[in-house]
Chains A and B, each alone.
Chain A
Amino acid sequence: MKGRYALLMLTALGVVLAGCGKSERVGSFPAFVYTSATSLESYRLAVRSPVFLEKMPCYCGCVQSANPPHRNLKECFIKPDGRFEEHGATCDLCGKIALDAEAWRKEGLSLKEVRAQLDAKYQEYGRPTDTPPVE
């Protein structure tokens, strides 16, 4: 019986730990955003810090495949007219880049350093968006 209780406790612990993320409710999003943790968190980030993502490039190929071509990482989540862009929810790379950038910024890196880190990590994916360098 002890073994079964131990398994139950472990399961309960998992549920509690999973709920202990640093997520916060930031507005309401279209349903397509709620397809993965990365998607939801990156859209929340885009709403919270649009200027920050505007200075970061995306490497997923949206500079060629999106219509019109994306100019920066923010446009993977929010269109220039302010509406939500679906691309960031269906692409598994944009969210990763955004959350990496945010993690480095929280570590205390400057915008320039964050940009350099992104370039170093993701340049193998191909051509980035034509995002002006960070001054």
Chain B
Amino acid sequence: MKTTLLSISRPSKGGRLRFYPLRAFSYRRFWPSIFQIATVLGLVLVLYFAFFGTIRPARNFATVVTWTLWWPLLPWSFLFLGRAWCAICPLGAIGSKAQELGARLGLAAGRQPGAWLKRYGVWLMVFTFAALAWVDRTFSIIGSPRATGVLLLILMAGTVLMSLLYRQRAWCRYLCPLGALSGIYATTAAVELRADKAICQTCRTKACYASCPLYEFPQTMDSNRNCNLCGNCLKSCQRGAIALALRPPGQELWLFRHPLVAESALAVLMVALVYLQTIDMTLPWGDYMKAVVENTPLVGYNAAFTATFGAIIALGLGSYLVAAWVSGRLSGVGLATIFARFGYAYIPLALSGHLGHNFSHLLLEGPRAIQVALNQLGIPISLVPEALTDAPPDFSTVTVLTIMVLAIGIGASAYVLWRIVRREGRAAITAWPHFALLGFFSLAYLVMFLLPMNPRHGH
């Protein structure tokens, strides 16, 4: 029997939750539509400024709102609210409207996702997310308002196309690069939406399944991976079988029953990507790249970066594969089973690294970004003196906060490993290769975050 922090998982009479704030956001008709309207308006503004605003990324509404505010804040939302962002994502909302319009005009095919998409969808998300990370670093999308606008339009086109081809939100479930990230990070969330299976077994309508935009069936759902907390199932269930509950963050990481090889790989990939996206901001990165460019045939920076990008991902996934293999040999369990099961334990580490990485953006650039965004909208506000923009940033506070968050992440990952072993009744020795690998990854993160950062001046 799993525990919840707050006993709101059992619906009271009429299926209403007793915990008012959660009830308000799960049953009310305005959720998520009113927030979708707000985010769509926000997206319109971002696109307008991306294409018609200043080319100065540090002074453009589109780049500061997208990359300095929204992107660093997003992982925090996963930790507290799971995939709730996906419910209010403007791209998803536009896709849904396109689908409705397409159905009226006879343009929407309304297909069910095929077996191929279901089978390889997660791998596609893994690939598109890694590809996006590479494209961003190689073409410096965050440093260009126009490129930011183009990226958003490409994502929007993908959402609309998939919405016209398939029913519900096939893009969000099987292709969205951000969906991959939000799916695995949502497993650490402090909230979960689950059904009372005893009640569900007596239900004949299964209206919840028909209403779920991500093709989930609440009766069998044991993970936040594909739940965006849109509340459709709550509203459609006549028996009050479904409820939103608070829980110890990350509890499902050792509880859920259907681990996937692709998601485990994605978790380890995230560890590698966070490392990559942080290490290239440190001072020693220049020494490393100098050595590569001057001593190998990789003459161009992007070629050297791409090779490093591939090598770090290969090192991360390869070392995890070795750990899984050793673990399998020690326990007599098949490699695929072990690979799929233990990868989730690295999610807290990846998330803490991600949050730590974003501290520098949020704390050092956030106030100025808010000021720029409001000024661009015609709201005169001054949070940061102009002269401070050229002053060298103070990294010490950021470093302390980062190390604190990272320590929590490392501890959480170790705890999840231990719980997985206990839960599955495996010998403790099964986990040792993973504890060793976790130690290696953690050390790499700690050293990296303690390295001096490369000062850059944005314009």
Contact = CB atoms under 8 A, between A and B. Distances in A.
B138 A37 contact: yes
A101 B455 CA distance: 25
Interface string B329-340: 000000000000
B285 interface: yes
Interface in A17-48: 18-19, 21, 23-25, 28-41
Interface in B128-152: 131, 134, 138, 140, 143
Contact of B458 (A3, A15, A38, A92): A92
Contacts of A65: 390
A80 interface: no
Nearest to A39: B301
B310 A15 contact: yes
Contacts of A14: 131, 134, 306
B299 A24 contact: yes
B394 interface: no
Interface string A59-95: 0110001000000000000000000000001111100
Contacts, number: 108
B287 A31 contact: yes
A31 B286 contact: yes
Given A11-B310, A121-B55, A124-B56, A37 B300 contact: yes
Interface in B406-459: 454-459
B359 interface: no
Contact of A18 (B143, B287, B289, B306): B306
Contacts of B280: 35
Interface string B276-311: 000010000111111001100011111101110010
Interface residues of A, number: 38
Given A60-B459, A91-B457, A92-B459, A29 B290 contact: yes
A51 interface: no
B138 A28 contact: no
Contacts of B294: 25, 28
A60 B456 CA distance: 13
Contact of A15 (B289, B300, B306, B459): B306
A90 B454 contact: yes
Contacts of A121: 55
B454 A15 contact: no
Given A18-B306, A21-B302, A38 B459 contact: no
B54 interface: yes
Given A21-B303, A93-B459, A125-B56, A31 B290 contact: yes
Given A10-B131, A19-B302, A31-B290, 6 more contacts: A18-B305, A19-B306, A34-B301, A37-B302, A90-B457, A121-B55
Interface of B: 54-57, 116, 119-120, 123, 127, 131, 134, 138, 140, 143, 280, 285-290, 293-294, 298-303, 305-307, 310, 390, 454-459
23 contacts: A14-B131, A15-B310, A18-B305, A21-B300, A31-B286, A31-B289, A32-B454, A33-B286, A34-B285, A34-B286, A34-B287, A35-B289, A35-B454, A35-B456, A37-B300, A37-B301, A39-B301, A40-B293, A40-B300, A60-B459, A89-B286, A90-B456, A92-B57
Interface of A: 3-4, 7, 10-11, 14-15, 18-19, 21, 23-25, 28-41, 60-61, 65, 89-93, 121, 124-125
